[in-house]
Chain A
């Protein structure tokens, strides 16, 4: 079970959080300008890397804030967490 450093609350048990999938996927400004394939890519397609991964979490049973986490999917090492809108920390780009 992960020990997750919420950027607002500090380290908390994983059971307080919900995982929100891959981070840094922006909703297209003009969906109609996208081809069906591009739109499908936005909705459905996610990377599934072994190693560094940027993902979204929400502190659902805590402050209810969304944030981003850089995690190594092979080791579950957390390289860092950062607020929505911020860039990943050094060593996690």
Chain B
């Protein structure tokens, strides 16, 4: 294709640098400086996609972030990006893009059948259709996904790198147009640290698309001089291709910098960078977005924003049509008419809703021979895939309808302008309010919660001269408030002031029939929301703009209604009979202003860096032994150690049998360990734990239970008295940080008078747990300074000595019910001792065991796991642990036992379950019922908390929480599962060695 719409000269593109690209597989050419959109227009492409709901043909309608139609799939494979606005894609050599929302292609779309059924797809269609019956969603979902087809996400990992920056500055200027550049200059000259961020590849903003003059010369001269001055200021950072997408509390801003416009980038640099900026002052010079006029069939390809048409001419040297009608309610669009006429576009005329427009610009247009049809509106558009003509009629007295004969204007371009909306999105993100300017029909930033100001067009100043003045004043002001007060005597630049007459605001323009009965008046082009949809919502009782948005989906697409929201609100206000559109509420803008790739949020925190991995000192031994891993928080713990060809069940059974019949070794280093010291340590434990600690002898251990103030179990573990004022607390692996936080919180906030100090020592120690009848024999080979006999070293005591010549603390504590020795050595000796034990352990049948066997073994003894048998609603009495509740002192949570709910008789209690079929292993979480009958609902009386096959018992076992469970011991209960009902007998929760003979042996 040739660039049939490219002008011979003019614009900021570089005609000496041609670029090749493809669109929907077709080869095309453009120039350096083009966007994909400008290159497509240059190549005569009018149809770029289909609309979301009706699949109507759509063309490019804007030139920037407000584009609602021209969404493309950029590139393919690993780097593909969905839903990219063609207006924001810089053209590069080899670019490849395809249309979305259409299948098989934009010229022939099978889903366009939706538009024949448009009467069946009114506002709230999705809610009404899919609310009921719920089961129907399964059927509809497939249809919706196919029909919506909003681009394709990549199936493979993104090969590019992203990174992040955290910076502070004195003044952040958002937007590098006339006002923003002026502000950055003024602030930069004071010596303040300034960041100027602009979303485009070039500074200049709207100036790039205008034929404006500053100081009597083309504005580009001032832009170039300003940019070069900023480059010379050491504390000024200018970031192009950088969108400030979000503005948050305390002057915090998120910015997305695109570091390489070209894809793929060859790995030379990061693709995008996310900036976290904390600024002392923020100057929002984000400009303004033009809004369309809302008339019948205003979505046809060739209907574009007037400012965008002008930008394509002036900046990119392309004309968006060869035969144009300008349709406006204001003077600004006359600039477009004049520019089109100058570019040789035929038949240029202006349809103006106002009576006898008389401003400076209309006068110029008339003098240039452009026909002006006043007090009129477009009542219809012909041409589905491309505008062919418009029908124009005169407005009646109150603009509620049209009168007189219809005139037809052949054209392939309709440039419309309904006025400009200040971009107050960022101001709104950070809690700023807005007030409605009725005369101009736009929202102006009002009170802000931040140290910020909206300036220039973002503050409703549309005269270039005002933008310059505002910019210099705001930049100076922001720098001064940040502490930089250097005066500048430079003369400020000026621009000619153009006298512009007021606009005539008519939100929905009438046609020959009531709205909705002739063509469609589109408000939201991306989501296909029409004036009739909003009017219907109002009739159905919607009053708030926030509810109406969600019901009609107005402004809910990726463009967030940048062009349609304000006309939509005004239409709602009219439908509700509210005079001032500001009274139906402003919709709150939310970040991001434009979409941000997830890769930028992830930055370098991907793959192995996504989450830290905690490894015990013996990690590599486990790895070499071929263990399977279990993730416990960030810890990697050996789950089980399969030998050649063993199944998980085989391995776990073997490990469990070894632990009860020979000796087995567990890496328990991950258990939380908190060193507690101070003269009030025992008193502190008395308050934190449910049982008493003052009388615990030095060298003795005690199991403790911690509750929250509501009486619910929070954590458990064994704590040992190492000295008069010195304790070592152990916690569950997953709760270690939370327990330390809990101790610190009470010490600092409630009991500051207690002299107690807590320190995490989890990683200082390697913990090796020897378990089983041969444990003592094996350990005896490694120590000669500790008497390991049951009398000298009873259960729940601790000795310090040496193990394998390594200084060690040995605890006789057990989580398996077997005679156990928990050997703690300094972490760096852990692997050495572990290896030595295995070198000597074969004759005793030493077997490594993992967390799965540990879980089975403890369940055989009915030992709870916090977080498995408890879930934040379980009190100690439910677990049969009344024995651990001191009656002689207060402790956290005690008072809550007297709450009516804690004293309830039918609370769920911990019991054992033995299935009728000994090989049947119940599913953890399965619900339990008392009766086996086939007519639901059947009341549920509890659930299974732990369930395993026990090799030591030769059958399955389970623990469960069952309502009044202890009274049901001996009863049969039922566990309904898909296709079967399993029966089980309720038992006490201890399955092995209820007398504790093994434990103490």
Give A residues with C-beta under 8 Å from B.
Answer: 1-3, 13, 18, 20, 26-27, 31-32, 34, 36, 39-40, 42-44, 56, 58, 60, 64-66, 75-77, 84-85
Instruction: State how many angstroms separate the Cβ of B857 from the closest Cβ of chain A.
Output: 35
Residues facing A in B238-256 (CB within 8 A) are 248-252
Interface stretch among B747-755, B825-833, B959-967?
A: B747-755
Q: With the chains together, A13 CA to B252 CA distance in Å?
A: 10
Chain A CB within 8 A of B546 CB:
no
Q: List 19 A-B contacts (CB under 8 A).
A: A2-B249, A3-B251, A13-B278, A18-B741, A20-B749, A27-B750, A31-B895, A36-B898, A39-B895, A39-B896, A56-B749, A58-B744, A60-B741, A66-B745, A66-B748, A66-B749, A76-B249, A76-B449, A85-B752
Residues of B within 8 A of A75 (CB): 431, 449
Chain B residues with CB under 8 A of A66: 744-745, 748-749
List, in ascending order, chain A residues with CB within 8 A of B449's CB.
75-77
Judged by a CB distance under 8 angstroms, whether B923 is at the interface is no
B898, A76: Cβ atoms under 8 Å? no
Whether the pair A76, B250 counts as a contact (CB closer than 8 A) is yes
A65 CB to nearest chain B CB (Å)? 7
Q: Which of A3, A31, A32 has the most CB of B within 10 A?
A: A31
The 5 A-B residue pairs whose C-beta atoms are closest, nearest first, are A31-B895, A3-B250, A66-B748, A76-B249, A1-B252
In Å, the complex CA distance between A40 and B895 comes to 10
Tell me the complex Cα distance, A56–B746, Å. Answer: 12
A77 vs B431: C-alpha distance when bound (angstroms): 11
Closest chain B CB from A23 CB (angstroms)? 9
Q: Quick one: given A20-B745, A43-B709, A58-B745, are A32 and B249 in contact (CB under 8 Å)?
A: no
Per-residue contact bits, chain B 111-150, to A (CB 8 Å; 1 contact, 0 not) = 0000000000000000000000000000000000000000
Bound: A93/B750 CA distance, A: 21
Task: Let me know if B604 is at the binding interface, CB within 8 A.
Answer: no
- How many whole Å from A56's CB to the nearest CB in chain B? 7
A44 to B749, CA, bound (A): 18
Q: Give chain B residues whose Cβ lies under 8 Å from the Cβ of A20.
A: 745, 749
Q: Could you say which residues of chain A place their CB within 8 Å of the CB of B750?
A: 26-27
Residue contact A1 to B248, C-beta cutoff 8 Å: yes
Shortest CB-to-CB span from A11 to chain B, Å, is: 9
B896 and A84 contact, CB distance less than 8 A: no
Chain B 294-336 per-residue mask, 1 if CB under 8 angstroms from chain A, else 0: 0000000000000000000000000000000000000000000
Task: Kindly state the separation between the CA atoms of A31 and B898 in the bound complex, as whole angstroms.
Answer: 11
With both beta carbons as reference points, the residue of chain B lying nearest to A27 in the complex is identified as B750
Once bound together, how far apart are the Cα atoms of A3 and B277, in whole Å? Answer: 12
CB under 8 Å from chain A, chain B span 862-901: 890, 894-896, 898-900
Q: How many of chain B's residues have a CB under 8 angstroms from any CB in A? A: 24
What is the bound-complex CA distance between A32 and B710, given in angstroms?
A: 14
Measured between beta carbons, the chain A residues less than 8 angstroms from B896 are: 39, 43
Q: A58-B741, A75-B431 are in contact. Are A34 and B250 (CB under 8 A)?
A: no
Q: Which chain A residue lies CB-closest to B903?
A: A36
Cβ contacts under 8 Å, A64 to chain B: 744
CA distance A42 to B899 in the complex (A): 13
Q: A39-B895, A43-B896, A56-B749 are in contact. Are A3 and B278 (CB under 8 A)?
A: yes
Q: How far is the CB of B735 from chain A (nearest CB, A)?
A: 15
Question: Which of chain A's residues have a CB closer than 8 A to the CB of B894?
Answer: 31
- Of all chain A residues, the one with the shortest Cβ separation from B751 is A27
Closest chain B residue to A56 by CB distance? B749
Residue of B nearest to A78 (CB): B250
B249 cross-chain contacts in A, Cβ below 8 A: 1-2, 76
Please indicate which of the listed interface residues B248, B710, B895, B896 has the most CB atoms of chain A within 10 Å of its own CB.
B895
A43: contacting residue among B250, B710, B745, CB under 8 A: B710
A42 to B895, alpha carbons, bound, how many Å? 11
- Kindly list chain B residues whose C-beta atoms are within 8 Å of the C-beta of A65: 748
Which B residue's beta carbon lies closest to that of A23?
A: B749
B899: nearest chain-A partner, CB-CB: A36
Closest A residue to B447 using CB positions? A75
Contact with A along B713-744 (1 / 0, CB 8 A): 00000000000000000000000000001001
Q: Which chain A positions have C-beta within 8 A of B899?
A: 36, 39-40
- Which of A34, A56, A58, A85 makes the CB contact (< 8 A) with B895? A34
Complex contact A1–B745 (CB within 8 A): no
The reply to whether B890 and A84 contact each other, CB–CB distance below 8 Å, is no
Given A3-B278, A43-B709, A75-B449, A84 and B752 contact (CB-CB distance below 8 Å): yes
Nearest residue, chain A, Cβ from B687: A27
Bound Cα distance from A15 to B332, whole angstroms = 47
- In the complex, which residues of chain A have a beta carbon less than 8 angstroms from the beta carbon of B710? 43-44
Q: How long is the Cα–Cα vector from A51 to B896 in the complex, in angstroms?
A: 32
